[in-house]
Structures are given as structure tokens and as C-alpha cells.
Structure 1
Amino acid sequence: MELYRACYRSKINWGNMRLPLPDEIDKTLLRIRRINRKAGVTGALLLVDQHIIQVLEGLTGPVLDTVYCVMNDPRLEAIEGIIHEPADFRLFPNSLMFFRDLTDGLAASKHDVLRPLLDHPADVTREEAYRAFGHFAQELQEGRLTNDMLMI
């Protein structure tokens, strides 16, 4: 079974938001995580200013099905693929959908790899996306290791 990774960026279409943004995000994450559990898809979603950058990982079919759903979401516009390729491993193996709101700039001020996401979210490159998602994947892994050590 071949793993696949897809990453896209999109602009938020505020005119199609039905709820205030925090409520819209909570509702959407609940739905995404429920669907991803059934489909075997993992990944991460970053909110950056007026944009969303998301990475999806899993078997090719379910990942591409999820991308298709994203492309038809009226709350998003100017959707552009950043990464579409086979993957040797999952960056977020235990995360049905990791989420971070980076709009306040605090995380980017502490971690240079996140700076491009705020500086030019509409033009994030493949390498910049990998560095940003890699940062959070490592953060999650370190947290799991700490939890494992505390459980000994």
C-alpha cells in the first residue's frame, strides 16, 4: 500500500462563512476528524491570516477524495496545490487533523521556519510548507516521547 501526501493552500471566502471563524473552525475540525478516522487520512491544518494551508496523508484514493471535497468547499477559493506525491512515511501519523492558528504571529516570531507562512501565505513554496509542517510534526513527536517517559 502506497502512502500519498497532498498539500494545498487556499484563501478563505468570507462571504460563504455561516458562523464566526472560531465556531466554523471547531465545527469543520470535528467533521474532518470524523471523516479522516473512517478514511485513514491524517494531516495538519494551519490558519494563516486569510489563508489555510493543509497537508493530507494516507492511501492515494482517500487523500485525493479529500482534496476533491476541499476543491468543492464554497468557504475556500484560490485553491492551489503545493505538494502532490507519494510519501515514504506520515508526518502526522497519529493526528486525524492537527490544527494551529498562526494568525497572531507569535509562533512565527519564535520559529523562523514559520515566518514564510505569515510573510507570503499566498506564495508558500513546497520547501517552506515541508519545513513548517516538519516543525509541528517534530513538536508532536517530542510531546509523545515526553508522555511515554512520564508513563514509565
Structure 2
Amino acid sequence: MSITRLSYRSRINFSTMTLSFDEEIERILSRSRTNNAKAGLSGALLLAGNTFLQMIEGPEPAVLEALDRISADPRHGDFAVIDQRTDTARLMPADPLFFCDASDACDSVLSSLYIPIAHSPELVRYDDLVSVMIFSATRVARRHMRNRALSA
């Protein structure tokens, strides 16, 4: 079975936000995760400074519908598709929307990956984005597993 994987970049349009920044992000994540689960989508969202970088994967019609919805959202400005491709397997199969905020990265390895992205998001390419997102998801999952083991 083939899936479509699409990556985009956009800048946050703060003037359209009606809630605090953190509340807006939580609202975006909650709605996106619900929509993605219903549509059979998975992916990752990275917030780097005032830039969103996202990878969405799943059935092509659902990916394109999500892209239309996201690109029409007034909270996104300077919207640009980084890459779109077909693949045979998902990179983020278990997560309707993994999220990481680069400013919250207390992990020095993650911080070293995020700094260049936050400073020059227009230079981010597909391979960079996928590598950072998969590495981030792996680091976060390992940290959660370690914390659960310590609390048990």
C-alpha cells in the first residue's frame, strides 16, 4: 500500500490568534490530532521560533485535504510546501501528530539540531526535516520510557 508524505513550512501569523500563544498551540494540536486520527493521517509538527515545520503522511486524498485546510488557516503565513512524495511505509506510524517545540528542548542534542532550523527555516530541506523529526520523536519516546521506568 502506498502513502503520500507531504512536508511544509509556514510562519505564525500572531495577529490572527484570539487566545494566548500556548492556548492556540494546544488548540491546534488537539484539533489536528482528532482530525488526523479520523482521516488515517500521521505525522509530526515542529515549532521552531515563529515557524511551523510539519510532515503529514497517509492516503493521498486525506493528505491533500489536510493541506488545503492548513494552508487556508489564517494563523499560517508564508506557507510553502517543502516536499511531496509517495512511499510504501510511514515514518511516524503510531502518532496522529507528534509535536516538539524547539524552544522547550532541554536536550542539548536536540537543541543543536533546532538552532539552525529556527534561525533559517527557509533553508530546511526534506531530508533535514525528516531526520530532525524522527530523531526528536525517538529522543522524546526514550525519555518518557526512562521516566516511567524510574517511577515504577
So what's the TM-score if we normalise by structure 1?
0.85
Pair 1:95-2:72 in alignment: no
Counterparts of 1:76-115 in structure 2, within 5 Å, are: 76-104=76-104, 106-107=106-107, 109-111=108-110, 112-115=112-115
How many residue pairs align between the two structures?
147
Paired position in structure 1 for 2:22:
22
Q: Is the 8 A contact 1:113 1:135 kept in 2?
A: no
The code of the aligned residue for 1:56 comes to I
SS of residue in 1 equivalent to 2:19: coil
How far apart are the structure 2 equivalents of 1:39 and 1:129? 23
Distance 1:102 1:38 in 2: 27
Give the aligned CA root-mean-square deviation in angstroms: 2.3
SS of equivalent residue, structure 1 residue 18? coil
Deviation (angstroms), 1:146: 7.2
Quickly say closer, same or farther: Cα 1:61–1:143, change in 2 above 3 A.
Answer: farther
Structure 1 residues 49 and 140: alpha-carbon distance in aligned structure 2, compared to 1, 3 A threshold: closer
Which amino acid in structure 1 is aligned with residue 109 of structure 2? K
- Structure 2 residue matching 1:103: 3-state secondary structure: helix
Q: Deviations over 1:94-120 (max 9, x none)?
A: 11111111125644x424443431231
Conserved 8 A contact 2:98-2:137: no
Task: Give, as a single letter, the amino acid of the residue that structure 2 aligns with 1:25.
Answer: I
Q: Judging changes above 3 Å, is the alpha-carbon distance between structure 1 residues 146 and 105 closer, same or farther for their aligned structure 2 residues? A: closer
Percent of paired sites with the same residue = 31
Between the aligned partners of 2:76 and 2:33, the Cα distance in structure 1 is: 18
Secondary structure at the counterpart of residue 122 of structure 2: helix
Output the CA distance in 2 between the equivalents of 1:137 and 1:115. 17
Output one character per residue of 1:55-108: Cα deviation in whole Å (capped at 9) or x when no partner. 10111110111011111000001011112000222111111111111125644x
Shift of 1:28: 1.2
**Letter in structure 2 aligned against 1:90:** R
TM-score where L is the length of structure 2: 0.85
Moved more, 129-138 or 31-40: 129-138
Aligned to 2:49: 49
Per-residue deviation at 1:125? Answer: 1.6
Give the distance between the partners of 1:110 and 1:96, measured in 2 at CA.
25
Question: Following the alignment from structure 1 to structure 2, what is the Cα–Cα distance between the partners of residues 80 and 55?
Answer: 12
Q: Is the 8 A contact 1:51 1:122 kept in 2?
A: no
Consecutive unaligned residues in structure 2, runs of 5 or more: none
